[in-house]
Amino acid sequence: MKIQVATIFPEMFAGLDIGILGKAKQKGLIDIEAVNIRDYTLDKHHKTDDTPFGGGAGMVMTPQPLHDTINALDPEHNAKRIYMSPRGKTLDQSMVESLAKENHLLLVCGSYEGIDERVIELDIDEEVSIGDYVLTGGELPAMVLINAVSRYVEGVLGSSESTSEESFSRGLLEYPQYTRPQIFMGLEVPKVLLSGNHKDIKEWRFEQQLKITKERRPDLYEKILPSLENKDKKRKPRK
């Protein structure tokens, strides 16, 4: 998968050279290219921002450098072009899964008070937010999106780290995990996990998922309830 990023801080994306993503880049599974918008400015002082028409606080990114960067990186408009913005649709796991099916993403990072609206009109397919809070720029949101999407690219995660059993993939939060030692600071690992009975372990884990989701994310719990009730109906009555 090819991911290009238009940003005034390309050096921030060196953070993606570490860990699982760093390995995926080395293996050529994901190709991430962060490009400096400033390299495309025609302004003699390399300016990329200006004061907003109509007044108000802060600076707005000017359209020319952004428009030229986007169209230099993706001249045929083959990429899905996303502007990272607190005004966008909120990123969730189903959006992550559908973005992972794209071959080419172009992420545009704004700074200051945002970017000139005409760039969004001319060049952007979708605006995406990572949550209801405002950051100083789109770089961290772009890295969040890249991290979440890359995990779905074939070969990035080993089979032991698969995405199939984790939180959100079935609409429930994850069950608690334990490893050695069996007793730590007087706290014991739940007995069922030591029983070797896979059916009991599966049931315990599912009950824990339901309990944790109901307590912490009643919104997710409500959403999953109808499918849980259907599952119960389909289950053959025990003799």
* 63 makes contact with ligand ADE (CB under 6 A): no
The count of C-alpha atoms lying within 13 angstroms of the C-alpha of 177, restricted to the half-sphere facing its C-beta, is 6
Residue 111 found at the interface with ligand ADE (CB under 6 A): no
- Is 131 a binding residue for ligand ADE by CB under 6 A? The answer is yes
Q: Binding of ligand ADE at residue 41 (CB under 6 A)?
A: no
Comparing CB distances to ligand ADE, the nearer of 130 and 172 is 130
Q: 65-100: buried (b, 16+ CB within 10 Å) or exposed (e) per residue?
A: bbbbbbeebbeeeebbbbbbbbebeebeeebbbebb
Which one of residues 4, 7, 129, 213 is an interface residue with ligand ADE (CB under 6 A)? Answer: 129
Residue among 57, 134, 183, 187 that touches ligand ADE (CB under 6 A): 134
Element (H, E) at 204: helix 198-216
Does 59 bind ligand ADE (CB under 6 A)? Our answer is no
- Minimum CB separation of residue 84 from ligand ADE in Å reads 4
From candidates 56, 76, 103, 133, binder to ligand ADE by CB under 6 A: 133
CA–CA dist 193, 189 (Å, integer): 7
Query: Given the complex with ligand ADE, which of 131 and 190 has the nearer CB atom?
Result: 131
In terms of DSSP bridges, do strands 31-36 and 2-7 run parallel, antiparallel, or are they unpaired?
parallel
Neighbouring-strand partners of residue 3: 32, 105
Judged by CB, which is closer to ligand ADE: 7, or 62? 7
Tell me which stretch binds ligand ADE (CB under 6 A): 34-42, 123-131, 159-167, 194-202.
Answer: 123-131
7 touches ligand ADE by CB under 6 A: no
Query: Of 81-89, 167-175, 185-193, 208-216, which segment contacts ligand ADE by CB under 6 A?
Result: 81-89
What is the CA angle 208-209-213, rounded to 5?
A: 115
Cβ neighbours of residue 44 under 8 Å, at least 6 residues apart?
Answer: none
- By CB under 6 A, tell whether 48 contacts ligand ADE: no
Cα 131 from chain centroid (whole Å): 11
Q: Could you give the CA distance from residue 190 to residue 121 in angstroms, rounded to a whole number?
A: 56
Among 59, 95, 135, 157, which residue sits at the site for ligand ADE (rule: CB under 6 A)? 135
- Candidates 6, 21, 32, 84: give the one binding ligand ADE (CB under 6 A): 84
Q: Shortest approach of ligand ADE to residue 92 CB, angstroms?
A: 13
Residue of 28, 18, 35 whose CA lies nearest to 139 = 35
- Give φ, ψ of 26 to 5 degrees: -60, -40
Site residues (vs ligand ADE, CB under 6 A)? 84-86, 129-131, 133-135, 138, 141
